[in-house]
Structure 1
Amino acid sequence: MGRKFIDCRQFPSEMNCTIAISADTEAELLDAAVQHAVTVHRHQDTPEFRDQIRSVIKEGTPP
Protein backbone atom coordinates (compact mmCIF):
# COMPACT_ATOMS: atom_id res chain seq x y z
CA MET A 1 0.00 0.00 0.00
CA GLY A 2 1.39 3.41 -0.96
CA ARG A 3 1.32 6.70 0.87
CA LYS A 4 -1.56 9.13 0.49
CA PHE A 5 -1.47 12.90 0.87
CA ILE A 6 -3.45 16.11 0.88
CA ASP A 7 -1.95 19.52 0.19
CA CYS A 8 -3.47 22.77 1.49
CA ARG A 9 -1.95 24.64 -1.44
CA GLN A 10 -4.77 23.14 -3.54
CA PHE A 11 -7.28 25.24 -1.62
CA PRO A 12 -7.16 29.03 -1.91
CA SER A 13 -7.28 30.68 1.50
CA GLU A 14 -6.53 34.00 3.15
CA MET A 15 -3.69 32.29 5.03
CA ASN A 16 -1.96 30.93 1.92
CA CYS A 17 -1.40 27.71 3.88
CA THR A 18 1.40 25.52 2.56
CA ILE A 19 0.86 22.50 4.81
CA ALA A 20 0.92 19.05 3.22
CA ILE A 21 -0.10 16.00 5.24
CA SER A 22 0.66 12.39 4.34
CA ALA A 23 -0.13 9.02 5.89
CA ASP A 24 -0.20 5.32 5.07
CA THR A 25 -3.98 5.01 5.34
CA GLU A 26 -6.86 7.13 4.13
CA ALA A 27 -8.49 7.03 7.57
CA GLU A 28 -5.38 8.36 9.31
CA LEU A 29 -4.90 11.05 6.68
CA LEU A 30 -8.55 12.10 6.79
CA ASP A 31 -8.48 12.47 10.58
CA ALA A 32 -5.28 14.55 10.47
CA ALA A 33 -6.54 16.73 7.62
CA VAL A 34 -9.86 17.38 9.35
CA GLN A 35 -8.08 18.23 12.61
CA HIS A 36 -5.88 20.71 10.72
CA ALA A 37 -8.84 22.22 8.87
CA VAL A 38 -10.91 22.63 12.03
CA THR A 39 -8.08 23.96 14.21
CA VAL A 40 -6.29 26.21 11.74
CA HIS A 41 -8.88 27.11 9.11
CA ARG A 42 -11.96 27.08 11.38
CA HIS A 43 -14.01 24.65 9.26
CA GLN A 44 -16.79 22.59 10.80
CA ASP A 45 -16.24 18.83 11.09
CA THR A 46 -19.30 17.51 9.26
CA PRO A 47 -19.86 14.39 7.17
CA GLU A 48 -20.11 16.60 4.08
CA PHE A 49 -16.80 18.30 4.86
CA ARG A 50 -15.12 14.91 5.39
CA ASP A 51 -16.46 13.78 2.00
CA GLN A 52 -15.04 16.94 0.43
CA ILE A 53 -11.61 16.28 1.93
CA ARG A 54 -11.76 12.60 1.00
CA SER A 55 -12.37 13.58 -2.63
CA VAL A 56 -9.02 15.41 -2.91
CA ILE A 57 -6.79 12.77 -1.34
CA LYS A 58 -4.02 11.79 -3.74
CA GLU A 59 -1.74 8.77 -3.97
CA GLY A 60 1.99 9.23 -3.38
CA THR A 61 3.83 12.00 -1.60
CA PRO A 62 3.43 15.78 -1.88
CA PRO A 63 5.50 17.54 -4.54
Structure 2
Amino acid sequence: MGRKFIDCRAFPSEMNCSITIIADTEAELLDAAAQHAVAVHGHQDTPELRDQLRGAIHDGMPSEAAPSRAA
Protein backbone atom coordinates (compact mmCIF):
# COMPACT_ATOMS: atom_id res chain seq x y z
CA MET A 1 0.00 0.00 0.00
CA GLY A 2 1.39 3.41 -0.99
CA ARG A 3 1.22 6.72 0.79
CA LYS A 4 -1.61 9.21 0.25
CA PHE A 5 -1.65 12.98 0.59
CA ILE A 6 -3.82 16.10 0.61
CA ASP A 7 -2.23 19.44 -0.27
CA CYS A 8 -3.96 22.42 1.33
CA ARG A 9 -2.64 24.65 -1.47
CA ALA A 10 -5.28 23.07 -3.72
CA PHE A 11 -8.08 24.77 -1.75
CA PRO A 12 -8.98 28.46 -1.82
CA SER A 13 -7.76 30.10 1.36
CA GLU A 14 -7.36 33.67 2.59
CA MET A 15 -4.23 32.60 4.47
CA ASN A 16 -2.67 30.77 1.49
CA CYS A 17 -2.01 27.70 3.64
CA SER A 18 0.85 25.57 2.34
CA ILE A 19 0.40 22.49 4.52
CA THR A 20 0.57 19.04 2.94
CA ILE A 21 -0.68 16.11 5.01
CA ILE A 22 0.64 12.62 4.23
CA ALA A 23 -0.50 9.29 5.68
CA ASP A 24 -0.44 5.57 4.97
CA THR A 25 -4.22 5.11 4.94
CA GLU A 26 -7.14 7.12 3.63
CA ALA A 27 -8.85 6.99 7.04
CA GLU A 28 -5.80 8.39 8.86
CA LEU A 29 -5.35 11.09 6.22
CA LEU A 30 -9.00 12.07 6.27
CA ASP A 31 -9.01 12.40 10.07
CA ALA A 32 -5.84 14.53 10.07
CA ALA A 33 -7.08 16.74 7.23
CA ALA A 34 -10.45 17.26 8.93
CA GLN A 35 -8.70 18.21 12.18
CA HIS A 36 -6.53 20.70 10.26
CA ALA A 37 -9.55 22.17 8.47
CA VAL A 38 -11.35 22.69 11.79
CA ALA A 39 -8.42 23.93 13.90
CA VAL A 40 -6.70 26.13 11.33
CA HIS A 41 -9.39 27.15 8.86
CA GLY A 42 -12.43 27.23 11.16
CA HIS A 43 -14.54 24.73 9.21
CA GLN A 44 -17.12 22.45 10.82
CA ASP A 45 -16.30 18.72 10.72
CA THR A 46 -19.27 17.66 8.62
CA PRO A 47 -19.90 14.81 6.19
CA GLU A 48 -19.78 17.41 3.39
CA LEU A 49 -16.32 18.59 4.48
CA ARG A 50 -15.06 15.01 4.62
CA ASP A 51 -16.49 14.33 1.15
CA GLN A 52 -14.65 17.37 -0.20
CA LEU A 53 -11.44 16.27 1.50
CA ARG A 54 -11.87 12.71 0.24
CA GLY A 55 -12.05 14.10 -3.29
CA ALA A 56 -8.69 15.86 -2.81
CA ILE A 57 -6.76 12.73 -1.79
CA HIS A 58 -3.89 11.80 -4.11
CA ASP A 59 -1.84 8.62 -4.19
CA GLY A 60 1.92 8.79 -3.78
CA MET A 61 4.02 11.68 -2.58
CA PRO A 62 3.47 15.36 -3.43
CA SER A 63 5.60 17.03 -6.08
CA GLU A 64 7.51 20.25 -5.52
CA ALA A 65 5.17 22.17 -7.83
CA ALA A 66 2.25 23.89 -6.14
CA PRO A 67 -1.13 22.67 -7.40
CA SER A 68 -3.50 25.28 -8.73
CA ARG A 69 -6.03 26.51 -6.20
CA ALA A 70 -9.64 25.53 -6.77
CA ALA A 71 -11.89 28.41 -7.75
CA RMSD of the aligned region, Å?
0.5
Q: Provide structure 2 residue ranges, at least 5 long, that are not aligned to the other structure.
A: 64-71
Residue aligned with 2:32, SS? helix
Of all paired residues, the percent bearing the same amino acid is: 76
TM-score normalised to the size of structure 1?
0.96
Runs of 4 or more, structure 1, over 3 Å off, are: none
2:17 aligns with 17
Structure with more helix by fraction = 1
Post-superposition CA distance 1:20-56 (Å, at most 9, x none): 0000000000000000000000001001110110011
The aligned length equals 63
